[in-house]
Amino acid sequence: MQTNSIIELSRTAYQNNIDFLSQLFGKKTILSSVVKGNAYGHGIPEFVTMASACGVNHFSVFDADEARQIKAVLDQKITILIMGYLHQNDLEWIIENEIEFFVFDKKRLMDACKMAKKLNKKAIVHIEAETGMNRTGFEKNELATVVSILKKEKDNLVFKGLCTHYAGAESIANYYRIEKQIKRFNEIYQFFCENELKPLLRHSACSAASIMFPQTRMDLVRIGIMQYGLWPSQEVFITYLNAKKIKKDPLHRIITWKSVIMGIKKVKTAEFIGYGTSFMAKKDMKIAVIPIGYAHGYSRSLSNHGRVLIQGQRCMVIGLVNMNMVAVDITEIETVKKGEEVVLIGNQKELAITIASFSDYSSQLNYELLTRISKTIPRKIRN
Ligand SMILES: *Cc1c(COP(=O)(O)O)cnc(C)c1O
């Protein structure tokens, strides 16, 4: 097990986020916790265990591998929905285990029928409609075929959901595109209803859509980034706040990423630090070396830009982020010892390194930064 760093998940913060979101969406809307990308870097096994203890019982993933990781730790009555890729060889396990899945092409629908027949068990499908993102989803001219298959194969298929995904609801710049998608989705729903095929659930919203376009919440919301305590974009956060009297962030970050000082060194004025010439000491300096680098997901673009916390003080990253190490400036801290705690993301005393600040420096999205945090770092749930 890796000992270079540790990731802690705050159960209190998560419960807070889930309570806030559940209240916002109301009892009639199912909250599906999106845990693709190793639960946005939080770690699927630990994260879903914590989520389940906090009352979440619906999870959405990208593929069967992620579904298996959930199944390995949770055997209670939970629902798993695969939104993305399915390999032919996974179909049997999926149907056998009553895992639900998006279907966006005829072949997958027919394969699901065949496998369901073979297993004598119904496949639980969510029909994804193309509404304007142009990624996955049945085209308008394919819907009549979908209707006839669903009718003909009703002994083998459960028409559990009708769904779609929006092309960038986090930005006002996409307002008209999203409005058009919502309209199309409603028309497609009507089309199914007119053909006497009513899905059990209608769903379309991700975090951003659920805030920017509340009408997209429908029967189920697929919430990723917000449950982790982060907003999809500044615009979404501001839109939320504008409608509120109390201008306070209702979401709490649940991840903390900590490492330790592995070495301390003094450097004289005019010396270069690390590889090449990217950093020259302009005064006599003291630096701490931390056993974290881009191999662990600490982005190389944080070279000379990132900050960490040591003894509650902000310390600049100096020089390049290496594969496994990074140096920080501790000149101003009097007594520092090897083995002392370093916070890469999270709070220490009065200060915090937020993911937003982090990703601004590295010009990565919240999403990307989080999912790049190495899977091999141990995760621990705390209160
Ligand atoms: C990732 C994803 C979501 C969740 O997105 P967030 O912005 O993190 O809430 C919802 N639906 C689909 C299809 C997704 O791929």
pLDDT in tens, 165-214: 999 999 999 999 999 999 999 999 999 999 999 999 999 999 999 999 99
Q: How many angstroms separate the alpha carbon of residue 291 from the centre of ligand 1?
A: 33
For residues 123 and 355, which has the higher predicted lDDT (pLDDT)? 123
Confidence (pLDDT) at 79: 98
Pocket of ligand 1 (CB under 6 A): 34, 36, 83, 165, 206-208, 222-225, 232
What confidence score (pLDDT) does residue 362 get? 63
- Its sign, for the CA torsion 263, 268, 274, 279, is positive
- Residue 238, exposed/middle/buried by CB under 10 A (0-12, 13-18, 19+)? exposed
- CA distances in angstroms from 291 to 43, 298, 344, listed in the order given: 20, 11, 11
pTM: 0.96
User: Percent of the chain beyond pLDDT 70?
Assistant: 98
Question: Which residue from 146, 135, 140, 144 is spatially nearest to 106, judged by alpha carbons?
Answer: 146
Give me the pLDDT at residue 199, please: 98
Structural tokens at position 261: 């000082």
Q: What is the mean pLDDT of the chain?
A: 95
Residue 313 clears pLDDT 90, i.e. is over it: yes
Enumerate the active-site residues: 36, 275
Q: Given ligand 1 and candidates 103, 171, 206, which is best to mutate, with the most ligand atoms within 8 Å of its CB?
A: 206
Looking at the CA of residue 226, tell me the nearest atom of ligand 1.
9
Ligand 1 centroid–CA 37 distance in Å is: 11
